Amino acid sequence: MINDDKDLRDRRFLCEAIELARANVANGGRPFGAVLVRDGAVLATGVNEIARSHDPTAHAELLAVRAASQKLGSPDLSGCAVYASGQPCPMCMAAMRLAGVREVVYAFSNDDGASFGLSTAALQAELSLPHAEQSMIIRHQPMLAPGSEPEPYAAWKKRQPPAAGSDA
């Protein structure tokens, strides 16, 4: 019974994400939609807006995360689930993890999208390689003298409220 309820809920929100993707295609966008849910209620939705905005980060999942965070007035999306029409890319997965999203459910896999040029599997595979083996040049250029601390980090730390239960 519990799994049946979860399956019905998952199907409901996936159908909503797919409908957003269909509508986005009809409006000249890419076929991706996302629905961000907390406690069974939709907090935010998003569609891929790369074509409209010329912003390569304007993915459906990221726009839903941004909208939910603005609505809640917090970057903490703990307890939320994201339902996506397509398998989220590594950028979206990282953003959802940073936001505390607890669950991601998607309808169409990278394999489903590959023949349409809509798979990020190769990117995901490359990102798992050491930096020196990736196609992008990635290097660390130390800016600190040995034993010193990064000033912006130290300044940020000083501005943080004391942790709960601390004596500070």
- Provide the mean pLDDT of the chain: 94
Query: Is a pLDDT exceeding 90 seen at residue 164?
Result: no
Could you say which of 61, 126, 133, 149 is catalytic?
61
- Is 61 one of the annotated active-site residues of the chain? yes
Tokens 């083996």 identify what position? Answer: 133
Burial class from Cβ neighbours inside 10 Å (0-12, 13-18, 19+) for residue 25 reads middle
- Look up residue 112 and give its DSSP letter: H
Q: What is the pLDDT of residues 97-131, one digit of tens each?
A: 999 999 999 999 999 999 999 999 999 999 999 99
Which of the four pLDDT bands, split at 50, 70 and 90, describes residue 153? confident
> Would you state the pLDDT for residue 143?
83
Bridge partners (DSSP) of residue 84 are 34, 106
Three-state DSSP at 132 gives helix
Query: Is a pLDDT exceeding 60 seen at residue 1?
Result: no
